[in-house]
Amino acid sequence: MADWLAALHRRAELRAKAGLTRRLRPRAAGDVVVDLAGNDYLGLAAHPEVTAAAGRALAAYGLGATGSRLVRGSTDAHHGLEAALADWLGVDGSLVFSSGYLANLGAIRALTQPRTLLVSDAHNHASLIDGCRISGAETVVTPHADPAAVAAALAAAPGRPAVVVTESVFSVDGDLAPLAELHAVARRHGALLLVDDAHALGVLGPAGAGGVAAAGLTGEPDVVVTATLSKALGGAGGVVAGPAEFVRHLVETGRTFIFDTALPPAVAAGVRAALDLARAGDDLRAELAERTALAVRRLRAAGLEVSAPDAAVVSVTAPGPEAATAWAADCADRGVAVGCFRPPSTPDSRSRLRVTVNAGVARADFGRALDVIVECTP
């Protein structure tokens, strides 16, 4: 009976030997660590207007939604957030899920029909990869950010329904997908384009409307947008946005929507307040861009291999998984939190520190954090 536990123990030993052990590290409320690991790009998670809106909804609705959206989980807070998201993104409709992960699973499944071909970028997030797998559709993985390869994959399957699946800003290196070119290729072959805008929403585009808006694709009928509400909006949950008929299809058939307890109303209300701040936050986006450029200059000047980010994700190559883990731990010991990405979380088997720039961190603390990263280099 204990054989399966022994097998798990052996697998854990192998992961440890490869430097791939993962640990949960609880964070105390009000800690003083400089946070360059989380995704609170605009510093809105603790904004007084956001927490006040969440507090009012908490008092009005209670802790949880108490059921799925189709039972008792839909509240005025959910519908108000969905209307605001649709208006911001310039689409007919949007639907809020309890996580961005579930939004991606639901969107891909809903876009899949018999014979559908999914064409997925090699650097796509795990939620997109899992969405392709769970859909059961044939999936072709194309080289990263390569419209010609996407065109070749679509040309090899003439007459079949197809969906091109990509992120806008990729979560590991922070580079921007060639969305306009991908859309042109998809349209030429009669395919749809699904864009995960998680790391661009609030950061890029007019009024922070995201990478799709920045590429001039707002409201295109053959584009579906997904995003998480836990990054620049500082909350939780996910959204799928696009034509009203597709949103209706999700409400009536989407398993990750129908059978999941709704996002807590307090979170929906807080995210709604954050959306208003993000939409009017051109000054925050300018600060974010300035800090991102500073981080790249400072880290490269120290001789580090650094990505060329298009948003606020800065990737720093580490010698290996163990070195990356030690580097991040040394930074944490000196009061700076940075991300540590190792295989299999990286698409190319390279280990990295990931610095997510936060406009809410005091400028002096941000500069000191960059110094710490350099001083702790393995």
Same domain, yes or no: 89 and 201: yes
Structure tokens at 77: 């807070």
The pTM (predicted TM-score) of the whole model is 0.95
| 123 is a domain residue | yes
Q: pLDDT confidence of 231, banded at 50, 70, 90? A: very high
Same domain, yes or no: 275 and 349: no
Determine the structural domain holding residue 298 and report its residue range. Answer: 32-46+282-375
Tokens 């995960």 map to which residue? 196
Same domain, yes or no: 215 and 362: no
Question: What does the mean pLDDT of the chain come to?
Answer: 96
C-beta atoms surrounding 273 within 10 Å: 25
How far are the Cα atoms of 12, 94, 248, 249 from residue 245, in angstroms, in the given order?
Answer: 46, 11, 5, 6
Same domain, yes or no: 246 and 362: no
pLDDT of residue 24: 85
DSSP designation for 159:
T
pLDDT per residue as tens digits for the range 16-46: 888 888 888 888 888 889 999 999 999 999 9
Q: Give the count of domains, the chain.
A: 2
Taking alpha carbons only, the member of 328, 306, 321 closest to residue 376 is 328
Asked if 240 contacts 247 with a C-beta cutoff of 8 angstroms, the reply is yes
pLDDT per residue as tens digits for the range 339-366: 998 888 787 788 999 999 999 999 999 9
| 328 backbone dihedrals φ, ψ, rounded to 5° | -65, -40
> 1 pLDDT exceeds 60?
no
- List the CATH number of the domain containing 252: 3.40.640.10
Same domain, yes or no: 251 and 363: no
